[in-house]
Amino acid sequence: MTTVARVGRLLLDGVFVPGSVGITDGRITSIELAAGTELPDDAPLIAPGLIDLHVHGFGGCEPLEDLRGMASALARSGTTGFLPTLFPDAPDRLAQDVGKVGAQELDEACARPLGVHLEGPFVNPAAAGALPPDRLVELSPAGLFELLSAGRVRTVTVAPELSGSRDLIRALDREGVRASLGHSLATCEEARAAVIDGACGATHLFNAMRPWHHREVGLAGFALTDDALYAELIGDLEHVSAEGVALALEARGPAGICLVSDALAGAGTGCDAFEIHGHGHGVRRGGAFYREHDGEHSLLGSALGLLDAVRGLHTAGVVSLEEALVMASETPARALGIEGEAGRLSEGARGDLILLDPGDLGLREVLVGGVPARGITADDR
């Protein structure tokens, strides 16, 4: 039996309170409050490990080529659970990719893959954004079955306005797979119909969606005004402005918004440029851009990890630290239906913790199932 304990200010119900957390054999077995106790000023802030619902790569690694490297780098950055996210492709090739991700073995101190997120291929080419339009396909029950049979698919991004989408969303719901609405020009009514069919998420709110209009608020407006959807929000302040983040938070609160990184492989490396799928990317203000044929730069994904987004949003005064951490841990766990397993400091949950310096929010330690993630240094702050 292996037991570890940590003392500091615990994030409980959205508030930091002094106390200690005990972990035995990978599970939280005790939460002890220390009301009236004076902790040292440098006592760590202790929060649940972060959960990223949308991440394409990290630490120089991608899920298809080196899931172990990606999961290890994520753990060292404070993310303890994640959905490796694949770009679209023809269903037969994408099914092979799903199987390849699932076949890779990980170390115990790595972040845990919680299933695969397929960002397409059943999305609207007119709202493809940076997704390769030649790899998008028409909705197909046979294609969907091929994908779901290949491995543990947890989320599929779907455009609800496409012909056949209602049947596809119902099929996903029957199979226990989350349908997340995105890369879409859906109207508000089309989004509402998709929720009736079982959709429960919105992929990177505001990005690759119908622009807001006061007479047709579209998918983004529906996601802001109805609590049926857990809305992803990229927190690098490049994909969505500070005002956009504040609007989303005012509308839905921390319980309705899931911070995601949408990170690419270059995130977490500190590099200013990297290459993915033959495209060179440059990093500006936390976003990853690639140069198109006409010389324009298009925003593809993020160059920041999830904890970087938490720090950035808090430092910019957009949200409180507690709100940002809830949106990066508890709310994503609820979106996945695993809130008893992860995302909260509670007895019986996995011992996935992050310990932050109260001054600069540097990452002191990460525990994954009670096991310290290796390689955390002052540079990770």
Does 306 or 295 have the greater pLDDT score?
306
Assess contact for 194 and 139: CB atoms under 8 A. no
Name the residue among 268, 257, 320, 378 with its Cα closest to residue 47: 320
pLDDT at 296 over 90: no
Percentage of the chain modeled with pLDDT above 90: 73
> What's the pLDDT band for 381 if we cut at 50, 70, 90?
very low
Name the residue among 108, 115, 80, 16 with its Cα closest to residue 352: 80
Please report how many Cα atoms fall inside a 13 Å half-sphere around the Cα of residue 233, on the Cβ side.
33
Give the integer Cα–Cα distance in Å for 273 and 69. Answer: 19
Percentage of the chain modeled with pLDDT above 70: 89
pLDDT at 289 over 60: no
Give the integer Cα–Cα distance in Å for 238 and 198. Answer: 31
Lowest mean pLDDT among 130-134, 226-230, 329-333: 130-134
Backbone Cα Rg of the chain: 20
State the greatest distance between any 2 C-alpha atoms of the chain, in Å, as a whole number. Answer: 63
Phi, psi values for residue 321, rounded to 5°: -60, -40
> What's the pLDDT band for 291 if we cut at 50, 70, 90?
low
pLDDT at 201 over 90: yes
Q: What is the pLDDT of residue 293?
A: 42
Strand partners, 32: 20
pLDDT tens-digit map of 239-273 = 899 999 999 999 999 999 999 999 988 887 666 65
pLDDT at 37 over 90: no
> What's the pLDDT band for 295 if we cut at 50, 70, 90?
very low
Q: Is 89 a catalytic residue?
A: no
What's the rounded mean pLDDT across residues 65-91? 95
What's the rounded mean pLDDT across residues 82-87? 96
> What's the pLDDT band for 180 if we cut at 50, 70, 90?
very high
> What's the pLDDT band for 278 if we cut at 50, 70, 90?
low
Q: What is the pLDDT of residue 302?
A: 73
Q: What is the pLDDT of residue 265?
A: 84
Catalytic residue among 97, 262, 308, 352: 262
The CA-to-CA distance between both ends of the chain, in Å, stands at 32
> What's the pLDDT band for 81 if we cut at 50, 70, 90?
very high
Does 2 or 315 have the greater pLDDT score?
315
Q: What is the pLDDT of residue 34?
A: 86
For the chain, give the secondary structure using H, E and C: CCEEEEEEEEEECCEEEEEEEEEECCEEEEEEECCCCCCCCCCCEEEECEEEEEECCECCECHHHHHHHHHHHHHHCCEEEEEEEECCCCHHHHHHHHHHHHCCCCCCCCCEECCEEECCCCCCHHHCCCCCHHHCCCCCHHHHHHHHCCCCEEEEEECCCCCCHHHHHHHHHHCCCEEEECCECCCHHHHHHHHHHCCCEECCCCCCECCCECCECHHHHHHHHCCCCEEEEECCCCCCCHHHHHHHHHHHCCCCEEEECCECCCCCCCCCEEEECCEEEEEECCEEEEECCCCCEEEEEECCCHHHHHHHHHHCCCCCHHHHHHHCCHHHHHHHCCCCCCCCCCCCCECCEEEECCCCCCEEEEEECCEECCCCCHHHC
Buried b (16+ CB within 10 A) or exposed e, 138-168: ebeeebbebbbebbebbbbbbbbbbeebbeb
What's the rounded mean pLDDT across residues 152-180? 96
Q: State the chain's mean pLDDT as an integer.
A: 90
Q: So what's the architecture of 48-340 in CATH?
A: Alpha-Beta Barrel (3.20)
pLDDT at 20 over 80: yes
pLDDT tens-digit map of 106-140 = 988 899 999 999 998 999 999 887 788 888 888 88
Does 288 or 304 have the greater pLDDT score?
304
> What's the pLDDT band for 152 if we cut at 50, 70, 90?
very high
